[in-house]
Amino acid sequence: MTTHQTTASAFAAFERKMRSAGLSQTFIDNFRFYYEQLVQGATGYISRQEAQPVEALPSYHELDASLQRAGEEALRRAFVLKLNGGLGTSMGIDGPKSLLPVKGELTFLDIIVRQVLALRKRFDVSIPLVLMNSFHTRDATLRALEAYPELKIQGVPLDFMQHMEPKVWKETLSPAEWPADPEKEWCPPGHGDIYPALMDSGMLSTLLDAGYEYAFVSNVDNLGAVLDLAILGHFAHNRIPFLMEVAQRTPADRKGGHLARSSDGRLILRESAQCPPEEEAEFQDIHLYRYFNTNNLWINLRALAETLERRHGVLGLPLIRNEKPIDPTDPTTPRVYQLETAMGSAIGVFEGAQAICVPRSRFAPVKKNSDLLVLMSDAYHLNEDYTLSLAPECNGTPPVATLDDRYYLLYEAMKARFPAGAPSLRRCISLTVRGDVTFGANVTVAGRVVIEAPEGEPLRIPDGAVLEEATSRDRS
């Protein structure tokens, strides 16, 4: 029996499972593309030879002033697309992360909606907001959007669904089965699924038919990612099919993915899971690999539709082989592979794709409660148009908070230790909290501050305390 016949035989079980779950032929073909690579021993690694450093890129600050006007002219054909498939499970939240309060009672979703409505009012243009939801986030998100009936645009749905795919047993490469909780047999295919999901859902053709051509795509937990007219003008005026916003890497970004250039000169994205273990030190060299992907992307829908049609619905993005326990909450459960792709890796697919180096302010994601605390604080100001800006005292660099995961990992636990809300961080460079520390009201943090509670002893910071460049051990 040939390798092809063996792979086809092994895949038959996956195809039956996916068909019974109602998945489309297009998505089954996409999953087959990656499964065949897995069976053939693909690791998804991209070596140094195929990921060479990028020396220089166009800068946001160098964009011509005329591009602002070009952006205004292109605005009527633009829309905002947010990835909203994630739950806040790593932060102890059962529901969509987008429904977490960020500024007072306003959630990520509230602020994003209001940003779009403010743009519409300012330019008198019908800019759609479209969400890519998952089966975990859709119902709760759409209920929340009922508070904004004015958001709907005739003929353009508010959302479309990302796919789900079967997990693969590591040992046998067969479909994972988990009768104790069959839902755990499935996983999201990574945000690279946005492309087949746009096509499968009909959203791609709906938007094109309605006259929309320019998609600004970003993560729902990144409130720095707002539709920028200068970048839109640059994108539209130069007829770029795919544009990635990148930022300069800092020591905090060492372990994240980076932009690189393939041996044939194309820009590509290399995620940490795609780095060969022996190249890890070089991968983390922020002076060698200078740029990271903010996951703020600009996509020309016509170029996407033509490319998908030419490739029969399979873009062929680089594989990310993600190994995990089948039950993410129990590391002792058997191991599976999740076959994933990254949305940004499409930069290597589109002929003429480009990248632009943007200010760090366009990248303010919330992955942990430490990030959320900074966003909640006065280090970030919510403007009239619901964009965020750093306080002048921050000098363009947000403070860094590091909270002890033993006490602050879960959202409710973090809230309980900041009952009066976040301390003032506008004059803070860094805040490190070790141990069980509860903050009183109107606490101010300035400079670099470390707070450490004695092991096993809760510490309370009194109301009105000012913490400056010192380690606080006082209790009250």
- Provide the 3-class DSSP secondary structure of residue 298: strand
Supply the pTM of this predicted model. 0.92
In the predicted structure, residue 85 carries a pLDDT above the cut 80 = yes
pLDDT value at residue 473: 40
Q: What is the DSSP letter of 441?
A: T
Contacts of 352 (CB under 8 A, 6+ apart): 240, 241, 242
pLDDT band at 89 (very low <50, low <70, confident <90, very high): confident
pLDDT in tens, 152-168: 999 999 999 999 999 99
Q: Report d(CA 190, CA 318) in Å as an integer.
A: 12
pLDDT band at 422 (very low <50, low <70, confident <90, very high): very high
- Return phi, psi of residue 297, to 5°: -125, 150
Is residue 386 very low, low, confident or very high in pLDDT (cuts 50, 70, 90)? very high
- State whether the Cα torsion 66-386-235-345 is positive or negative: positive
Instruction: With a cut of 70, say whether residue 12 has pLDDT above it.
Output: yes
Please give the DSSP secondary-structure letter assigned to residue 332: T
> Per-residue pLDDT tens for 338-377?
999 999 999 999 999 999 999 989 999 999 999 999 999 9
The pLDDT assigned to 44 comes to 86
Any idea how long the chain is?
476
- pLDDT at site 251: 86
In DSSP terms, which residues pair with 164 in a beta bridge?
A: none
Average pLDDT over residues 119-126: 96
Domains of the chain: 3-362 (3.90.550.10), 369-472 (2.160.10.10)
- pLDDT at res. 470: 56
Listed in sequence order, the residues at least 6 apart from 369 whose beta carbon sits closer than 8 Å to its beta carbon are: 91, 403, 408, 409, 410, 411, 414
Angstrom CA distances, 374 to 276, 286, 463, stand at 34, 24, 19
Average pLDDT value for residue range 212-229: 97
Reported as type and span, the H/E element at residue 292 is: strand 291-300
pLDDT of residue 88: 80
Winning range, highest mean pLDDT, from 272-281, 293-302, 323-332: 293-302
Mean pLDDT confidence for 135-163:
96
Tokens of 404: 């002890």
Instruction: Identify which has the larger pLDDT, 165 or 396.
Output: 165
Average of pLDDT values for 403-407?
A: 96
- pLDDT beyond 60 at 472: no
Q: pLDDT per residue over 24-38, tens digit each?
A: 999 999 999 999 999
Q: Quote the pLDDT of residue 397.
A: 87
Contacts of 2 (CB under 8 A, 6+ apart): none
Residue 262 has pLDDT above 60, yes or no: yes
The per-residue pLDDT for 2 is 43
Residue 291 contacts residue 258 (beta carbons within 8 Å): yes
What's the pLDDT tens digit per position in 165-215?
999 999 999 999 999 999 999 999 999 999 999 999 999 999 999 999 999
